[in-house]
């Protein structure tokens, strides 16, 4: 996570293990390196067998040479697994999950791992790799599980047979959800271990319901496995999975992975299958492979080096705004444009899909602010019965200040909706798979180029089309050109709301709707959002940041003064998320925030002159990406209903702690 500090590189002690309660002194396998003494960063390269300095290319070649050539039967359909895996798994996949045809990574991985071989898979997210590693894992667990252990009364917390490590809470929950669908009716129990406010609940579920497959984030997994009080143990572990290895290591989890490995049974005594998946084969990933994998592991590569990457293939447009006070109205206008186009042409153009978008903002408070503003929109701001400009379109919110339960519920709801808008911080930017996202909308330059690319990757998945839209302050363009140079971004001038000067020009319909909606948002939330937005603007706009921030606060949100003059903008002596003043916790009688159901049309873009965007030549393509997702929002005082889709119980608002890999308060 971005909240975690990068630690030392990958330890060379990862394969060596011990039982939870007993230290062993048995002879280790040649590939299992002792963990008795920590290896310094300086000495790490000495473990490479070649006299040549370790490099990514050399390691990749070594991995390819060490891997066993694959000569397995070609699999294209899950029905071909009859006789190879339990028939209940096939039924769950084909009938309940409605998946019949395998993706490339599923076909190759499943064929090569059902015999228990270790496997290194190189695959992008959105290619079906979760099911690719779950099938061999659940089959291996079920085969080794006595029938008596599948009965509810016999299930225990100290009988974990498989551990799956994911870099984020959201991805861990996503994997666990798919695993539960896969094992339904087999007696195999799947549990999660992630950070957040429900650690005790997860532990109790393991203790009362039993656990055969444990999915979690590194820090939380280490907590539960190392604490004898939890009684969660894995003495007969048969499968160990590391998903998104490159991300796990980039975010500093090498030490956590080492510590987890040290708590597992000695691999020379309890054989286990190790599966590792990574989109990139970095130096650290290849070191981890050499330490974790048994000789003769399978190497499955499903990334075509000649394939155009998503961030170069997806159409991308940039809207240059007069100021950030124009941002929400500009997004609203864009959505309305698409919807009108969709309703007019959906019968003629089969490629048009309902509007489903993820709107990314750079801070948690800005994410929450945007969600509040859009929820309060009215066709006629003077008439509360005039209806919402977007009709019944579900509006969702997700970020790090929601509880894990709220975030999980939001993700589930967003996946289920055919049309919706998800206002999101970067908690969903990597690894999350939401079907049919048509647009990814980014307000403001992301903190770095990689973040922009990963956000954009939430659309155009599973061979479907998508669009990306980037909304920038006029003084932010140069900063964005430097950061995103070479990407196929084109200027879009079709959004009228983006260029209006709110101080001197008459407001159009969208700007007026947003202005009135912003007025009823609680003052404390608006001021906190402006305060947290300051650092982004200072980095992107430089000397122009103070004026831009003041205009956003006063013209866009209706605050009386800008930051730096109001006593309430002094945050140095109080914690994040606390109200600025009890009197400021007012702000409008608002009903349940979230989705409102109903089938809705989508939305389409409308022409306009498109100028080139970016520096250093090259043709820039058009734009496309659609997306969305939103978390639950608990009550925070005042007359506010639960926040989330279609009502329902929502937990308290807050809860930022949790796993070091998790997104913390700023996300």
Residue 267's pLDDT is 83
Whole-angstrom distance, CA of residue 646 vs CA of residue 502: 35
Residue 315 and residue 295 in one domain? no
- Looking at the fold, whether 537 and 399 belong to one and the same domain comes out as yes
Q: In angstroms, rounded to a whole number, what is the distance separating the alpha carbons of residues 389 and 513?
A: 9
Residue 626 lies in a domain: no
Q: 502 in a domain, yes or no?
A: yes
DSSP state of 229: G
Helix, strand, coil shares, percent, the chain, to 5: 40, 10, 50
Residues 287 and 357 in one domain: no
> Residue 606: which pLDDT band, with cuts at 50, 70 and 90?
very low
Alpha carbon distance 371, 536 (integer Å): 19
Q: Residue 259, Cα to own-chain centre: how many angstroms?
A: 25
Q: How far apart are CA 577 and CA 532, in angstroms?
A: 11
Look up residue 169 and give its two tokens: 């809470």
Are 518 and 550 in a shared domain? yes
Is 621 a residue whose pLDDT tops 60? Answer: no
- With cut-offs at 50, 70 and 90, classify the pLDDT of residue 223: very high
290 part of a folded domain: yes
- Do 234 and 110 reside in the same domain of the chain? yes
Q: Can you tell me which residue has the tokens 């930051």?
A: 563
The single residue listed with the structure tokens 């009938």 is: 95
Q: Answer for the pair 631, 397: CB distance below 8 angstroms, yes or no.
A: yes
Residue where one domain finishes, among candidates 557, 589, 620: 557
Give a yes or no: residue 459 inside a domain.
Answer: yes
Residues 185, 276 within the same domain: yes
Does the pLDDT at position 654 exceed 60? no
Query: Which stretch of 59-73, 323-337, 482-496 has the lowest confidence by average pLDDT?
Result: 59-73
Do 338 and 284 share a structural domain? no
Q: Say what the pLDDT of residue 126 is.
A: 76
- Give the three-state DSSP class for 123: coil
Q: Which of 557, 588, 609 is at the close of a domain?
A: 557
| Segment among 236-250, 483-497, 585-599 with least mean pLDDT | 585-599
Q: Quick one: angle between helices 218-226 and 199-209, nearest 10? A: 50
> What is the average pLDDT across 204-220?
95
Going through 366-448 in order, the beta strands assigned E by DSSP cover 395-398, 420-424, 439-443
User: Do residue 372 and residue 285 come from a single domain?
Assistant: no
**Tokens found for residue 537:** 């603007």
Residues 315 and 279 in one domain: no
Mean per-residue pLDDT of the chain: 79
Residue 334 belongs to some domain of the structure: yes
What was the pLDDT predicted at 104?
92
369 and 292 housed in the same domain? no
Check residue 52 and give its pLDDT: 34
Residues 331 and 217 in one domain: no
Mean pLDDT in residue range 582-606: 38
pLDDT of residue 396: 98
Q: Is residue 623 part of a domain?
A: no
Do 115 and 255 fall into the same domain?
Answer: yes
What total of structural domains would you count in the chain? Answer: 2
The reply to whether 486 falls in a domain is yes
Among the candidates 278, 301, 324, a domain finishes at 301
CATH number for position 434: 3.40.50.300
Range of the domain at 333: 310-557
Read off φ and ψ for residue 640, nearest 5 degrees: -130, 135
Whether 64 is in a domain gets the answer no
342, pLDDT greater than 80: yes
pLDDT category at 607 given cuts 50, 70, 90 is very low
């Amino acid at each position: 996570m971005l909240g975690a500090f990068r630690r030392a590189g990958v330890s060379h002690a990862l394969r060596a293990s011990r039982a939870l309660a007993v230290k062993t002194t048995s002879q280790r396998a040649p590939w299992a390196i002792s963990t008795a003494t920590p290896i310094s960063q300086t000495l790490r390269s000495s473990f490479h067998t070649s006299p040549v300095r370790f490099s990514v290319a050399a390691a990749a070649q070594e991995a390819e040479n060490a891997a066993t050539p694959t000569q397995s039967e070609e699999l294209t359909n899950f029905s071909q697994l009859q006789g190879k895996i339990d028939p209940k798994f096939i039924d769950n996949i084909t009938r309940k999950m409605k998946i019949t045809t395998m993706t490339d990574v599923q076909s190759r991985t499943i064929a090569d791992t059902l015999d228990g071989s270790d496997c290194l898979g190189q695959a992008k997210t959105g290619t079906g790799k979760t099911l690719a590693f779950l099938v061999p894992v659940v089959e291996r667990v079920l085969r080794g599980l006595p029938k008596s252990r599948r009965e509810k009364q016999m299930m225990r917390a100290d009988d974990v047979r498989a551990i799956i490590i994911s870099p984020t809470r959201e991805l861990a929950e996503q994997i666990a959800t798919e695993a539960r669908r896969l094992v339904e009716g087999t007696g195999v129990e799947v549990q999660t271990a992630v950070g957040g406010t429900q650690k005790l609940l997860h532990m109790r579920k393991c203790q009362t319901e039993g656990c055969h497959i444990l999915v979690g984030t590194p820090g939380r997994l280490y907590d539960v496995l190392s604490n004898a009080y939890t009684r969660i143990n894995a003495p007969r572990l048969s499968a160990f999975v590391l998903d998104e290895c490159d991300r796990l290591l980039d975010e500093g989890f090498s030490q956590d992975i080492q510590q987890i490995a040290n708590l597992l049974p000695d691999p020379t005594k309890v054989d286990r299958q190790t599966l590792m998946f990574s989109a990139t084969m970095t130096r650290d990933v290849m070191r981890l492979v050499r330490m974790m994998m048994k000789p003769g592991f399978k190497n499955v590569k499903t990334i075509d080096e000649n394939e155009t990457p998503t961030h170069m293939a997806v159409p991308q447009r940039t809207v240059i705004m007069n100021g950030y006070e124009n941002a929400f109205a500009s997004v609203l206008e864009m959505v309305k444009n698409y919807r009108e186009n969709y309703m007019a042409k959906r019968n003629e153009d089969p490629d048009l899909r309902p509007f489903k978008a993820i709107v990314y903002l750079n801070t948690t408070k800005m994410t929450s602010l945007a969600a509040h503003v859009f929820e309060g929109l009215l066709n006629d701001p003077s008439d509360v019965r005039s209806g919402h400009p977007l009709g019944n379109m579900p509006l969702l919110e997700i970020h790090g200040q929601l509880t894990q339960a709220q975030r999980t519920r939001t993700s589930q709801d967003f996946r289920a909706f055919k049309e919706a808008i998800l206002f999101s911080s970067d908690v969903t930017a990597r690894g999350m798979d939401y079907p049919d996202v048509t647009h990814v909308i980014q307000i403001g330059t992301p903190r770095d180029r990689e973040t922009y690319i990963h956000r954009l990757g939430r659309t155009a998945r599973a061979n479907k089309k998508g669009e990306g839209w980037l909304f920038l302050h006029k003084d932010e363009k140069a900063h964005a050109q430097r950061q995103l140079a070479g990407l196929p971004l084109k200027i879009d001038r079709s959004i009228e709301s983006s260029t209006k000067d709110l101080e001197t020009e008459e407001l159009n319909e969208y700007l007026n709707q947003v202005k009135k909606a912003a007025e009823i948002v609680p003052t404390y939330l608006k001021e906190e959002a402006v305060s947290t937005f300051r650092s982004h603007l200072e980095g992107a706009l430089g000397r122009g940041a103070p004026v831009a921030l003041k205009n956003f606060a006063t013209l866009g949100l209706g605050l009386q003064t800008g930051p730096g003059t109001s006593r309430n903008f002094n945050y140095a002596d109080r914690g994040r998320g606390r109200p600025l003043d009890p009197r400021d916790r007012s702000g409008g009688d608002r009903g349940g925030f979230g989705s409102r159901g109903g089938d809705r049309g989508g939305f389409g873009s409308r022409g306009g002159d498109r100028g080139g965007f970016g520096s250093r030549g090259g043709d820039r393509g058009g734009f496309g990406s659609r997306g969305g997702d939103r978390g639950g929002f608990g009550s925070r005082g005042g007359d506010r209903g639960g926040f989330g889709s279609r009502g329902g119980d929502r937990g308290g608002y807050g809860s930022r702690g949790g796993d070091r890999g998790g997104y913390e308060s700023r996300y």
